[in-house]
Amino acid sequence: MTDSDTSHSLPSSPRKRRGVLWAVVLLLAGAVAAGIWWQGQQSGATGGDAAKQGQPAEGAGAPPGPPVTVANPISKKIVEWDEYAGQFRAIDSIDVRARVSGYLESIHFTDGEVVQQGDLLFTIEKRPFEIALNSARAQLAEANAQLSLANRNLKRYEKMREGNIVGESDYDDRVEAVSAGKAAVAVAQAEVEQAELDLGYTEIHAPVKGRISRHEVSAGNLITGGYTGDVTLLTTIVSMDPIYFEFDVSEANYLAYQRAAERGVMPSMRDNKIEVFAKLPDEEQWSHKGSLEFLDNQVNETSGTIRARATFSNSNDAFTAGQFGHIRVPGSEPYEAILLPETAIVTDQSQKIALVVADDGTVGVKILRVGPSYNNMRIIREGLAPTDKVVINGLLRARPGSKVAAKMGSIEAASQETAAE
């Protein structure tokens, strides 16, 4: 081979190699595409068969819905109760004051103790009043002596008048002297009685049984007594058993009670002692039973309420005068009511609804008209039947129109089931 041949063959060799390389690349690409197509055909056929095998048989049911607990509402005979806030008042509340003025000599009670009617509470210095009594008795004795002398003179003048020894005017003077003597005796006797009364008032006794407050004045102080003016307050006593509970009833409720009494379905609040129940702010149960026995004679023009009063036994000192509490009064005649727990009632804008489940598991909606609470339940006025299956647990899983897997439960266990939700 000549140099000229070599020089012509070298440039052509790289071009041939590139052409061969591209041919190999195209061949491999075609082989890969064919392989992918073939694999797709095989997997499609296999997948189709698998899909056919995985399809549910014709007529099979849909998968079950989410689980919920349902229960029939409680149906029982109840009496609705109206609740009011009020205040306990002592039947007797007495300000103890002295009827005479003087120095307070001694105190005979311990602050805050229970005193019996007639117990000695205070003693005022007696000596000035004993002196006044002795003086009044002396004046009475003098008046009696003057009256006795006037009577003797009158008898002498009566005899002399019969013999015309004395004139008629002298005789009349003796008659008037007797009358004046009788009047003087009466005045002196009244002064003695007043002095005895004042002396008795130096001992101040408990007018009623009750719990006494602290003493307002210490022994040794001068106190002012009497019936008017700035009379010194010594202490106070309040009775304990029984005790009043006073509260205000709205005019609307008062009218409802009146209409019910006119229909004969409830006793009159004025003419009967109606059984009521009370509880203190820290109590859960209405464990204190009393009787409603007083209704005021007019409605308050400012508040539109009427004052009512119940009486409760307080033998165990459960209540203290001035203490606040709550009372419930029967607000209806006994009737058959439908009750639901508050947790089973849903608020939808301005409506109250309950979710119910049909026999086929479909969730439906019942619009409710609710009443007041009753023993931690809610009275359902309208919208629910005793046979309805109400969702009491799983409300978040129930949607109107959807299907659920309903399990029967009980209203009593609703609170526990809701807590576990």
User: Residue 412 belongs to what domain range?
Assistant: 68-77+336-420
Is 405 part of any domain? Answer: yes
Among residues 143, 172, 200, which one ends one of the domains? 200
As to burial, measured by CB atoms within 10 angstroms (0-12 exposed, 13-18 middle, 19+ buried), residue 209 is middle
Identify whether residues 403 and 385 lie together within a single domain: yes
Confidence of residue 166 (pLDDT cuts 50, 70, 90): low
Answer yes or no: is 105 within a domain. no
Give a yes or no: residue 26 inside a domain.
Answer: no
292 belongs to a structural domain: yes
Pair 273, 353 in one domain:
no
Residue range 134-160, pLDDT digits in tens: 999 999 999 889 888 888 877 776 767
CATH number for the domain including 395? 2.40.420.20
Could you give phi then psi for residue 315, rounded to 5 degrees? -65, -25
* Overall number of domains in the chain: 3
CB 323 within 8 A of CB 88: yes
Sheet holding 102-107, edge to edge: 203-205, 120-124, 102-107, 222-223
Q: Can you give the pLDDT at residue 399?
A: 86
Which letter, b or e, does each residue of 212-249 get, where b requires 16 or more Cβ atoms within 10 Å of its Cβ?
bbebebeeeeebebeeeeebbebbbbbbbbebbbbbbb
Q: Say which residue, 315 or 18, is predicted with more confidence.
A: 315
Q: Is residue 132 part of a domain?
A: yes
Q: Does any domain span residue 215?
A: no
Mean pLDDT, rounded, of the chain = 82
Q: Report residue 48 as tokens.
A: 């189709």
Residues 145 and 158 in one domain: yes
Whether residues 245 and 326 fall in one domain? yes
Q: pTM (2 decimals)?
A: 0.64
Per-residue pLDDT at 411: 81
Write out pLDDT tens, residues 60-93. 455 678 898 889 898 888 888 888 999 999 999 9
Instruction: Give 230-272 as a DSSP string.
Output: SPPEEEEEE--SSEEEEEEEEHHHHHHHHHHHHHTSS--TTTS
CA distances for 209 relative to 112, 113, 236, 245, angstroms: 13, 11, 12, 19
Place of tokens 């266990």: 413
Share of the chain above pLDDT 70, in %: 80
Range name among 16-20, 43-47, 308-312, 344-348 with the lowest pLDDT average:
43-47
CATH value at residue 143:
1.10.287.470
Name the pLDDT band for 214 (thresholds 50, 70, 90).
Answer: very high
Answer yes or no: do 177 and 257 share one domain.
no
Identify whether residues 291 and 370 lie together within a single domain.
no
Residues 187 and 167 in one domain: yes
Is the pLDDT at 349 greater than 80, yes or no? no
Q: Are 209 and 239 in contact (CB under 8 A)?
A: yes
Q: CATH number for the domain including 282?
A: 2.40.30.170
Integer Cα distance of 330 and 309 in angstroms: 14
Q: Distance (Å, rounded) from C-alpha 31 to C-alpha 25?
A: 10
Q: What letters, b where the CB count within 10 A reaches 16 and e where it falls short, cover 277-291?
A: bbbeeeeeebebebe
Q: Which residue has the tokens 């399990």?
A: 407
The two beta strands, 74-78 and 222-223, are unpaired
